[in-house]
Amino acid sequence: MGNWDHRSDEAKERINKYLELPEEKIASCYYHVGRTTTKSIFFISDVVPISDKYIEREYLGRDSKGYVIKNKKLLAELEPRKVRRIVYYEDKNPNSFRQHITDVKKYLIDENEKENAEKEV
């Protein structure tokens, strides 16, 4: 997630080109612009699986609390349509995004299985 106002005009133009694509194109799901406490950009195609082990710190809002999205309209657009489509596309086309989502997922699964096996010994 990022602040829309911190983007250059060129970056805003590039993001808007993706947002204006027809919904059937996977690239239309790469970004979402919505309102949190400010106008924000959600980098949907940057979604990667993660575990607590790799979270360095919690990013806090102005009130020193972790940010939780409560806007039902925003959530309805992000998760069911855009995030699910990105994850589904990645499942059918492994490592098609620059984040190599499939490799990250496989690594985390392997790591978790190894840790569980070590606990059983």
Domains of the chain: which residue ranges?
2-120
| 12 vs 38: which has the higher pLDDT | 12
112 confidence band (pLDDT: 50, 70, 90): very high
Query: Which of 9-13, 79-83, 92-96, 102-106 shows the lowest per-residue confidence on average (mean pLDDT)?
Result: 79-83
Of the candidates 5, 35, 30, 25, the one whose C-alpha atom is nearest the C-alpha of residue 15 is 30
- Give the pLDDT score at 12: 96
- Give the pLDDT score at 71: 79
Query: CA 47 to CA 26: how far, in whole Å?
Result: 14
Strand order in the sheet with 39-43: 2-3, 39-43, 31-35
- Give the pLDDT score at 76: 83
Q: Give residue for tokens 């940057």.
A: 46
SS3 call for 37 = coil
Identity (one letter) of the amino acid at 72?
K
The pLDDT tens digits for 20-43 are 999 999 999 999 998 777 888 989
Is the confidence at residue 104, as pLDDT, over 90? yes
Provide the terminal-to-terminal Cα distance of the chain, rounded to the nearest Å.
41
Q: Both tokens of residue 42?
A: 């959600």
What's the whole-number average pLDDT of the chain?
88
The mean per-residue pLDDT over the stretch 65-75 comes to 79
Percent with pLDDT over 70 in the chain: 100
Q: Both tokens of residue 30?
A: 């790469």
- Give the pLDDT score at 90: 93
